[in-house]
Amino acid sequence: MSLIISESQTTTKTRSDTKQWVLASNNKGKLIEFQRLFAAANLNVDIIPQGKLGISDAIEDGLSFVENAIIKARHASRESGLPAIADDSGLCVPILGNAPGIYSARFAGEHGNDAKNNAKLLNELAPLRSQTDAPIKGMFVCVLAMVQHADDPLPIIAEGLWQGEILDAPFGEGGFGYDPLFWLPKLQQSAASLSMADKNQISHRGQAIARLLEQLNTRF
């Protein structure tokens, strides 16, 4: 991977030198965050969402975040012929056997219905809360996989874990997914009450992207 060379140097990078990588997602928030962090790292890479290339979603039939991230990255790379990055993320609650886990987005049966997913999580935790006064622990998980080509035998894997507690009612107006139920004791805020900038600094995805960039800088 080549780094951007300053204009003061004799040889200046042109647009044709910019590499293109596919993001195996059409989530606008994820795309913006990847583009921002890659630009800040001075990597000469354009991140393109797979939908822009007409690539359909992969079938996520893995049993872990790592497996699904690799499946999605390989699918996007195979369809595009380009290097690809994929994100698989969700909420794990240890007292529920780490559910909803890889099924976080469709926990209540309908993909992406945040209200129903949150309601189901609260319903399943309700009888457990009556048995203890201790807070219910939870963690957001993000696993990123990057492959140079579809059959890459050495994908780069980066993980981020964001520890917190699960509230018994929503708090905060921002965020998405389970953010309104995810409480951060040290900050005395929920993920849904953080600004986007503050959230990106400490979130599971922010951590994973930072670790991915560290590996890219040492491997290429």
How far is the C-alpha of 70 from the C-alpha of 78, rounded, in Å? 12
Instruction: Tell me which residue of 203, 91, 218, 64 sits closest to 145, measured CA to CA.
Output: 64
In the set 57, 87, 88, 152, the catalytic residue is: 88
Element of type H or E holding 166: strand 156-166
| 88 a catalytic residue | yes
Those residues whose C-beta lies under 8 Å from the C-beta of residue 143, and which sit 6 or more positions away, are: 65, 66, 68, 69, 87, 88, 89, 157, 158, 159, 208
Residues 6+ apart with CB under 8 A from 88: 60, 65, 66, 68, 69, 72, 102, 142, 143, 145
**Residue count of the chain:** 220
Residues marked active site are found at 88
